[in-house]
């Protein structure tokens, strides 16, 4: 049903109707009779006029005048149109900042009704919803094991996961990842782009991940710090992307030696806001490959960034790497802003102006984090009957494994608990054999960041831990096998 | 105007008038620029493949209005986000829309680098000489003398001169088209419309990055009526920010990216994986060196080839079916300083990859020898370059030490570079780590793309072996 304008609204509509009836005029152009439609005259629904007056001076025919009545619907004073002198020059359309302000008259007759209907139903409104295209597994023929540096193994893991877009800024000891990608991606018609900084890097990932494609970067601690704002945006806007942080010594410029002091950042400090991301902790070149592949899968499963917390040693370490028997051809998620007709209706965004909306979004994210907590993974080495438990990840975990093996040969009941996910901390696996454990020794290259994760997980699980001791090194020095073994022996004496 | 949503659902749920009205203040320049952009997209018929990047600033809600793919970026980072979208889908038409605080302050690095990169994206830069969204603080484009809440007495030279972005961007090689336009009268608006259209068209034609700076009105924070603000832009801004085309170097279409491919063969070829397995020569693990895990250290200066030798050792071990690891470590200056390599060879899994007590030490210079020789346990072996170490330190008891002139032999062979292969030959002779053929196979494989180098390396290895006196049994 037609709706009437309020009685206090200047009836620009009447003017509109009058000019519409002016009809068409016929001209002779080069002797050919041509029917030309008259140039459209302006049309304005007063409630969409903000009364800015920018149109007034534009009209040489003085058709537009400042209004003098407040429109109660807007509290603004719309202009009035008197189009008798109007020649349809159109200049006023271009002077009006409002999309539904001054506009050419619609081409067909219409009833004044819902502005939506008035401005015409469009294909957009009936566009089909985009259909998610799932990733596909492509079989890989068997090949001989490769001999790879950790950083290279991670890069190849990414390629196998279907990643063809890598953005990065060089930083030791992660750079080989970017270098290998720069060499290989052109052969696969992929893209490696060296950004102006880590800040630009993470935002390129926001764009590429937002377009629905798997993308990644290699960085190290100072670079990771710079990426945190962008990671918060990615978490907020639910954009996937993989960050391989080959941690180095800090704080500040520190050095290029291995450290594990970004655990706090990755697990508790991913930029501002209520953020979380799965943090994977490889300890061999083989795991650099395997966990990087997994990272992409998790990143898309949860629409969330995933962090790989490697250390400088691991990035540089060369070892044997066996390839999996499949690789991935990525699909395209339905939520992507890809830049095509199917995905035109999508939005990648982390701003929610209304407090209730933002709270609801946070609730949604928290619910997702809760589901992500099911992704706990750990490697248990000789844990079953262990009374002393060494907890370590990354390269220190390898040293610890050597120590545990040595101590087992001496007949000591010692095991190694190695989280493969630092967040979520694999508390479920730990709880299963913790009752036997008399002491825990946390071995790490940080001032207790892993231990904090352990303690927090225990506390949240309501488990009173046995005494926790530590072997810690910093600044590029890693705990060594002999030192770990000595510490365990000392503990065990106390425990006996 | 179908490029604008039929109803602005994202604007407070499209309720009431908000469904068809912008959030901009009356007379705000942003609205006009939106309109010209929408018209350009419509005229070029690219709505379906357009992705608009909303910045931080008053135009943060651009995505309320444009019925295109939308992505909202962090403050200043729109060009980086735009590039991410463009490289993800080169067929997308990506519009990076920014205010002056966003582009000319916090996002300078992103815009300058994106502009120099020149990848076809369209940058619409709305310069209103003020921070709108945060309430009228000084912008990088604020005029000298102009008052703002953070330049309450007017901007002075002490606060820096206004940034002339169009000129700065036009000075770069990357962009193909840079123009500054304004909105204060019908003629300027016509030009602005044309410039925006051209900037989008250049992208659609794959010709390059185009940058349009629009001098726009922020009546609210200038504390003037829209009409007065138009005049202010004309009278005050124009002298500082002259209008016109700053660069127009439209090249032939050049931007083209193939779609990434995902076939197994090309991936395996790219990473050098092959189905062929390397022949094995060893009958069993070299347990004569004490156990099932052998720690080695190769130490020298950058350029000695310690890392390459370590890598060959590691490959050789893995070819034999063992596990092996190699960790390099460099001195502070990374290239040219110290260069140490820790290697482990293990019957099954290397547990601890560092070599604080190497069973075998190869030292390429005196400092390395002095530093690591004391760590070698009894039963261990030390090999050092006697061409440079003239006066070796005393060695730990029970350690076999061999001085071999790595460098002299290599120089005699015509290439000092192969001294590391001489060292490996000596290591082989002194320790019988692997069958000789294991090493030879490893470096033949490593040199398969530089076959001409193989004979020299073969010889270096043989000379290294011969230089070690046979064990006095
Ligand atoms: C990292 C960060 N720093 C500061 C801000 C606050 N902020 C929001 S908008 C803005 C200035 C925007 O000004 P401009 O780009 O000129 O756009 P306008 O609002 O004038 O259109 C600032 C400083 C922010 N959102 N993020
Ligand atoms: S179309 Fe031209 S003449 Fe008619 S009202 Fe608009 S500016 Fe005036
Ligand atoms: S330009 Fe548009 S919004 Fe401003 S007064 Fe004219 S019709 Fe109203
Ligand atoms: S504050 Fe200024 S820039 Fe922002 S909407 Fe209002 S007039 Fe426009």
Domain ranges (residues) in chain A: 4-36, 43-112, 137-375, 378-495
Quick check: A140 and B268 CB within 8 A?
yes
Q: Which residue has the tokens 């009936």?
A: A126
Query: What whole-number distance in Å separates Cα of residue A1 and Cα of residue A171?
Result: 66
CA–CA min distance A309, chain B (Å) = 18
What is the average per-residue pLDDT within A297-320?
A: 96
Whether A124 shows a pLDDT value over 90: the answer reads no
Whether A46 shows a pLDDT value over 70: the answer reads yes
Q: Does A244 touch chain B (CB under 8 A)?
A: no
Q: Kindly give the number of the ligand 4 atom that is closest to the alpha carbon of B31.
A: 8
Same fold, A43-112 and A137-375: no
Higher pLDDT, A11 or A491: A491
What is the average per-residue pLDDT within A139-155?
A: 96
What is the average per-residue pLDDT within A320-334?
A: 97
What is the average per-residue pLDDT within A104-109?
A: 69
Query: What whole-number distance in Å separates Cα of residue A22 and Cα of residue A36?
Result: 12
pLDDT-wise least confident of A300-309, B331-340, B397-406: B331-340
- Looking at residue B382, its pLDDT comes to 97
Higher pLDDT, A31 or A265: A265
Quick check: B270 and A187 CB within 8 A?
yes
Of residues A331, A296, A330, A326, the one with CA closest to residue A138: A326
Count the helices and strands in chain A (H runs, E runs).
14, 24
Chain A partners of B270 at a C-beta cutoff of 8 Å? Answer: 159, 184, 187-188
Is the CB of B193 inside a 6 Å radius of any atom of ligand 4?
A: no
- pLDDT tens readout for residues A361-409: 999 999 999 999 999 999 999 999 999 999 999 999 999 999 999 999 9
Percent of chain A beyond pLDDT 90?
85
- Looking at residue A495, its pLDDT comes to 43
Quick check: A99 and B354 CB within 8 A?
no
Cis peptide before A173 (omega within 30 of 0): yes
Helix, coil or strand: residue A190: coil
CA–CA min distance B143, chain A (Å) = 23
Regarding the domain delimited by A137-375, which CATH topology (the fold level of the hierarchy) does it fall under?
Rossmann fold (3.40.50)
Backbone phi and psi for residue B272, each to the nearest 5 degrees, phi listed first: 75, 25
Domain ranges of chain B: 12-248, 287-467
Whether A8 shows a pLDDT value over 50: the answer reads no
Q: How far is the CA of B390 from the centre of ligand 1 (A)?
A: 67
Chain B partners of A167 at a C-beta cutoff of 8 Å? Answer: 84
> Of A196, A213, A481, which is closest to B352 when you measure between CB atoms?
A481
Quick check: B27 and A52 CB within 8 A?
yes
Chain A partners of B60 at a C-beta cutoff of 8 Å? Answer: 351
What is the average per-residue pLDDT within A66-89?
A: 95
B396 pLDDT band, cuts 50/70/90, is very high
Chain B partners of A320 at a C-beta cutoff of 8 Å? Answer: 318, 323-324
What is the average per-residue pLDDT within B457-463?
A: 95
| Among the bound ligands, the one closest to the CA of A66 | 3
Tokens of B117: 């990169």
Regarding the domain delimited by B287-467, which CATH topology (the fold level of the hierarchy) does it fall under?
Pyruvate-ferredoxin Oxidoreductase; domain 3 (3.40.920)
> Of A91, A144, A338, which is closest to B276 when you measure between CB atoms?
A144
Whether A446 shows a pLDDT value over 70: the answer reads yes
Whether B122 shows a pLDDT value over 70: the answer reads yes
Residues with CB under 6 A from ligand 1: B 56-59, 75, 99-102, 128, 130-134, 139
Q: Which of B271, B309, B323, B349 is the best substitution to test chain A (most A C-beta atoms within 10 A)?
A: B271
Whether A27 shows a pLDDT value over 60: the answer reads no
Of residues B69, B104, B126, B412, the one with CA closest to residue A339: B69
Whether B331 shows a pLDDT value over 80: the answer reads no
Paired sense of beta strands B177-182 and B244-248, if any: antiparallel
What is the average per-residue pLDDT within A22-29?
A: 36
DSSP type of residue A252: T
- Looking at residue A187, its pLDDT comes to 96
Whether A167 shows a pLDDT value over 70: the answer reads yes
Contacts across the A-B interface (CB distance below 8 Å)? 346
- pLDDT tens readout for residues B342-375: 999 999 999 888 898 999 999 999 999 999 999 9
Same fold, B12-248 and B287-467: no
Of residues B428, B426, B461, the one with CA closest to residue B443: B461
**Under 8 Å between Cβ of A242 and A292:** yes
The mean pLDDT value of chain B amounts to 95
Quick check: B83 and A156 CB within 8 A?
no
- Looking at residue B2, its pLDDT comes to 84
Query: What whole-number distance in Å separates Cα of residue A249 and Cα of residue A221?
Result: 8
Higher pLDDT, A265 or A6: A265
Q: Does A112 touch chain B (CB under 8 A)?
A: no
What is the average per-residue pLDDT within A31-56?
A: 80
State the SS3 of B382-397: EEEECCCCCCCCCCCC
- Looking at residue B472, its pLDDT comes to 55
Whether B39 shows a pLDDT value over 70: the answer reads yes
Q: Which CATH superfamily is domain B12-248 in?
A: Thiamin diphosphate (ThDP)-binding fold, Pyr/PP domains (3.40.50.970)
Whether B45 shows a pLDDT value over 60: the answer reads yes
- pLDDT tens readout for residues B142-160: 999 999 999 999 999 999 9
- Looking at residue B354, its pLDDT comes to 87
Whether A121 shows a pLDDT value over 80: the answer reads no
Quick check: A140 and B264 CB within 8 A?
yes
- Looking at residue B470, its pLDDT comes to 72
pLDDT-wise least confident of A377-381, B89-93, B468-472: B468-472
Beta bridge pairs of residue A244: A218, A308
Taking the complete model, does pTM exceed 0.80, yes or no?
Answer: yes
DSSP type of residue B13: G
Quick check: A100 and B4 CB within 8 A?
yes
- Looking at residue A3, its pLDDT comes to 35
Tokens of A113: 């009704």
Whether B333 shows a pLDDT value over 90: the answer reads no
CATH number of the domain located at residue range(s) A378-495 in this protein = 3.40.50.920
> Of A52, A187, A208, which is closest to B266 when you measure between CB atoms?
A187
Percent of chain B beyond pLDDT 70?
98
B276 pLDDT band, cuts 50/70/90, is confident
Quick check: A116 and B83 CB within 8 A?
no
Quick check: B270 and A196 CB within 8 A?
no
> Of B7, B273, B327, which is closest to A317 when you measure between CB atoms?
B327
What is the average per-residue pLDDT within A172-185?
A: 97
Regarding the domain delimited by A43-112, which CATH topology (the fold level of the hierarchy) does it fall under?
Alpha-Beta Plaits (3.30.70)
Nearest CA to ligand 4 atom 2: B218
Q: ipTM of the assembly?
A: 0.94
- Looking at residue A491, its pLDDT comes to 64
Q: How far is the CA of A80 from the centre of ligand 3 (A)?
A: 10
What is the average per-residue pLDDT within A12-25?
A: 38
CA–CA min distance A280, chain B (Å) = 20
Nearest CA to ligand 1 atom 24: B75
What is the average per-residue pLDDT within B38-53?
A: 98
Residues with CB under 6 A from ligand 3: A 44, 49-55, 78-79, 95-96, 98, 101-102
- Looking at residue B287, its pLDDT comes to 93
Q: Kindly give the number of the ligand 1 atom that is closest to the alpha carbon of B59.
A: 21
A107 pLDDT band, cuts 50/70/90, is low
Is the CB of A63 inside a 6 Å radius of any atom of ligand 2?
A: yes
Percent of chain A beyond pLDDT 70?
87
Paired sense of beta strands A347-348 and B69-72, if any: parallel
Nearest CA in chain B to A146: B273
CA–CA min distance A419, chain B (Å) = 16
Whether A122 shows a pLDDT value over 80: the answer reads no
CA–CA min distance B22, chain A (Å) = 7
What is the average per-residue pLDDT within B213-217?
A: 98
A106 pLDDT band, cuts 50/70/90, is confident
**Under 8 Å between Cβ of A299 and A306:** yes
- Looking at residue B335, its pLDDT comes to 52
Q: What string of DSSP letters covers A1-17?
A: ---PPPTTS--HHHHHH
- Looking at residue B330, its pLDDT comes to 72
Cα dihedral A396→A400→A402→A406 (10° resolution): 160
């Amino acid at each position: 049903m037609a709706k009437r304008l309020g009685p206090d609204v200047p009836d620009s509509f009447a003017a509109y109707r009058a000019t519409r009836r002016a009809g068409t005029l016929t001209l002779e152009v080069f002797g050919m009779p041509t029917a030309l439609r008259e140039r459209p005259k302006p049309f304005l629904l007063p409630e969409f006029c903000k009364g800015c007056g920018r149109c007034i001076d534009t009209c040489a025919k003085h058709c537009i005048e400042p209004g003098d009545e407040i429109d109660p619907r807007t509290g603004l004073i719309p202009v009035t149109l008197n189009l008798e002198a109007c020649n349809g020059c159109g200049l006023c359309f271009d002077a009006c900042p409002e999309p539904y302000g001054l506009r050419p008259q619609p081409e067909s007759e219409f009833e004044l009704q819902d502005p939506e209907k008035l401005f015409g139903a469009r294909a957009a409104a009936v566009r089909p919803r985009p259909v998610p295209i799932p990733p596909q597994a492509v079989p890989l023929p068997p090949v001989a094991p490769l001999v790879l540096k950790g950083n290279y193994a991670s890069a190849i893991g990414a390629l196998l996961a279907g990643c063809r877009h890598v953005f990065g800024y060089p930083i030791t000891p992660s750079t080989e990842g970017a270098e290998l990608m720069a060499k290989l991606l052109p052969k696969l018609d992929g893209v490696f782009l060296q950004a102006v900084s880590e800040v630009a890097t993470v935002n390129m990932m926001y764009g590429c991940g937002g377009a629905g494609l798997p993308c990644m970067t290699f960085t190290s601690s100072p670079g990771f710090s710079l990426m945190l704002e962008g990671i918060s945006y990615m978490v907020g806007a639910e954009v996937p992307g993989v960050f391989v942080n080959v941690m180095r010594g800090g704080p500040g410029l520190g050095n290029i030696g291995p450290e594990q002091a970004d655990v706090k950042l990755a697990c508790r400090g991913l930029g501002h806001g209520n953020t979380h991301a799965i943090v994977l902790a490889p300890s061999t070149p083989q795991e650099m490959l395997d966990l990087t592949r997994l990272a992409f899968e998790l990143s898309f499963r949860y629409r969330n960034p995933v962090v790989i917390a490697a250390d400088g040693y691991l990035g540089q370490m060369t070892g044997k790497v066996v390839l999996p028997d499949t690789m991935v051809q990525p699909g395209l998620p339905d939520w992507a802003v890809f830049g095509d007709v199917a995905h035109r209706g999508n939005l990648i965004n982390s701003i929610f102006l209304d407090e209730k909306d933002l709270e609801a979004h946070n609730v949604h994210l928290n619910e997702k984090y809760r589901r992500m907590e099911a992704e706990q993974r750990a490697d248990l080495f000789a844990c079953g009957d262990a009374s002393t438990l060494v907890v370590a990840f990354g390269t220190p975990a390898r040293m610890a494994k050597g120590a545990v093996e040595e101590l087992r040969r001496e007949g000591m009941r010692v095991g190694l608990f190695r989280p493969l996910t630092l967040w979520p901390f694999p508390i479920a696996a730990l709880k299963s054999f913790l009752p036997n454990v008399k002491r825990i020794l946390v071995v790490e290259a940080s001032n207790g960041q892993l231990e904090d994760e352990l303690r927090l997980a225990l506390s949240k699980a309501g488990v009173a831990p046995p005494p926790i001791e530590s072997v810690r090194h910093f600044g590029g020095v890693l705990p060594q096998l002999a030192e770990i073994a000595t510490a365990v022996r000392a503990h065990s004496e106390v425990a006996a | 105007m179908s490029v604008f949503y039929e109803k602005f659902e994202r604007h407070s749920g499209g309720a009431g008038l908000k469904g068809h009205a912008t959030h901009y203040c009356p007379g705000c320049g942003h609205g006009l620029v939106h309109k010209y952009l929408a018209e350009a997209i419509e005229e070029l018929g690219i709505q379906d493949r357009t992705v608009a990047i909303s910045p931080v600033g008053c135009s943060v809600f651009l995505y309320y209005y444009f019925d295109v793919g939308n992505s909202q970026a962090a403050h200043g980072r729109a060009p980086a986000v735009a590039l991410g979208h463009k490289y993800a889908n080169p067929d997308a038409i990506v519009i990076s829309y920014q205010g002056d605080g966003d582009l000319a302050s916090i996002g300078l690095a992103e815009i300058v680098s994106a502009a120099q990169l020149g990848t076809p994206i369209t940058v619409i830069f709305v310069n209103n000489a003020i921070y709108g969204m945060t309430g009228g603080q000084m912008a990088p484009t604020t005029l000298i003398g102009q008052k703002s809440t953070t330049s309450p007495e007017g901007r002075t030279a002490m606060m820096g001169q206004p940034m002339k972005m169009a000129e700065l961007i036009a000075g770069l090689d990357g962009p193909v088209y840079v123009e500054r336009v304004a909105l204060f009268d019908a003629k300027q608006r016509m030009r602005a419309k044309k410039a925006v259209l051209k900037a989008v068209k250049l992208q659609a034609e794959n010709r390059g990055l185009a940058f349009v700076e629009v001098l726009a009105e922020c009546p609210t924070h200038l504390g003037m009526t829209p009409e007065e603000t138009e005049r202010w832009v004309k009278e005050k801004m124009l002298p500082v920010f002259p209008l016109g085309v700053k660069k127009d170097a439209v090249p032939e279409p050049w931007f083209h990216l193939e779609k990434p491919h995902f076939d197994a063969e090309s991936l395996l070829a790219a990473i050098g994986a092959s189905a062929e397995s390397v022949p094995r020569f060893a009958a069993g693990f070299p347990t004569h060196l004490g156990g099932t895990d052998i720690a080695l250290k190769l130490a020298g200066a950058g350029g000695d080839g310690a890392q390459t030798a370590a890598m060959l050792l590691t490959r050789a071990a893995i070819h034999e079916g063992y596990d092996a690891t190699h960790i390099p470590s460099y001195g502070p200056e990374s290239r040219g300083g110290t260069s140490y390599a820790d290697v482990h060879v293990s019957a099954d899994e290397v547990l601890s990859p560092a070599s604080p007590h190497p069973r075998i030490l190869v030292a390429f210079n005196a400092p390395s020898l002095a530093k690591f020789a004391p760590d070698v346990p009894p039963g261990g072996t030390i090999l050092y370059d006697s061409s440079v170490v003239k006066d070796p330190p005393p060695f730990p008891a029970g350690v076999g030490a061999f001085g071999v002139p790595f460098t002299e032999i290599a120089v005699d062979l015509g290439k000092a570079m192969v001294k590391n292969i001489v060292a490996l030959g000596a290591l082989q002779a002194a320790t019988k780590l692997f069958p000789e053929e294991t090493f030879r196979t490893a470096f033949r494989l490593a040199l398969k793309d530089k076959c001409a180098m193989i004979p020299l390396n073969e010889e270096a290895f043989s000379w290294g072996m011969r230089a070690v006196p046979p064990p006095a049994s």
